[in-house]
Amino acid sequence: MDGGKDLRIGVIGAAGWLGGALVGAALDAGIVHPQNLALSFRSMKPERFREAFWTDDNQTLADRSDVILVCVRPGDWRTLKVNAKGKLLISVMAGIPLGVLRDHHQTDRVVRSLPNAAAEVGRSYTPWVPTATVSEADRAIVRTLFGACGLQDELTCESDIDYFTGLSGAGPAFPALLADAMMQDAVSHGIPAEIARRCVNAVIVGAGRLLEKRDACPSETLKTFLAYQGTTAAAIEAMRVAGFEASIARGLTAAFAASAKLGDAG
């Protein structure tokens, strides 16, 4: 990205978990100078990113920036009156369509994206979709920003990003749900909670690193364990009989529906 560090980036909602994670990733990757960051907060100025410009006036932030990231909850966004004045605007909010963002913020250069909380550790997966007027130079900025906090893919169909709200937008939430169920079962069998927590966290982290290293389809890993016909295969088969995969599908469908509802309300 030519002159990347000279790019002025504004992050509305930088005091939040995701906004702060994106800022931290950009700084760690050397994409932007701290002095070229404009960050906003709602109630209390954070103590982090002290070299950046902090403000509670989002229009002031937008006026100082070349690229504006909107990192607020969809319910809070509707009262956000910011004129982007034709600048590149990147939304990380679920459910708010490109056309609505374009009209609300008065810019044709809009990107919808869905990073997740794993951006904090450089392991987010971020799908994104641009309006037709987003240039290749703009796309390069988006790829660089989200590449700094994990993997990213440009989508060609906006409707697909609503599905990704559940699939990847939930980030660590779904593995955490599995981990919590495993830990509760361990504790119910008399395992001390601290030992159960260390064990389960290690299993989840190890599984992620193994999948990352192999870069193979998850079904291939499952086939390997099933082929042994041992205790793991017995557990997998019992979970499937209990409706494990159907439960996952129902959850993703619910997330998709919730995302579409947010868009209708926008």
pLDDT tens, position by position, for the chain (266 residues)?
Answer: 444 568 999 999 999 999 999 999 999 999 999 999 999 999 889 999 999 999 999 999 999 999 999 999 999 999 999 999 999 999 999 999 999 999 999 999 999 999 999 999 999 999 999 999 999 999 999 999 999 999 999 999 998 999 999 899 988 999 999 999 999 999 999 999 999 999 999 999 999 998 888 888 899 989 999 999 999 999 999 999 999 999 999 999 999 998 888 866 55
Residue environment code for 145-175, b if the CB has 16+ CB neighbours within 10 A, otherwise e:
bbebbbebebbeeeeebbbbbbebbbbbebb
Domains of the chain by range and CATH?
4-157 (3.40.50.720), 173-265 (1.10.3730)
Residue 259 in contact with residue 166, Cβ under 8 Å? yes
In the numeric block, the tokens 């590449």 are attached to 147
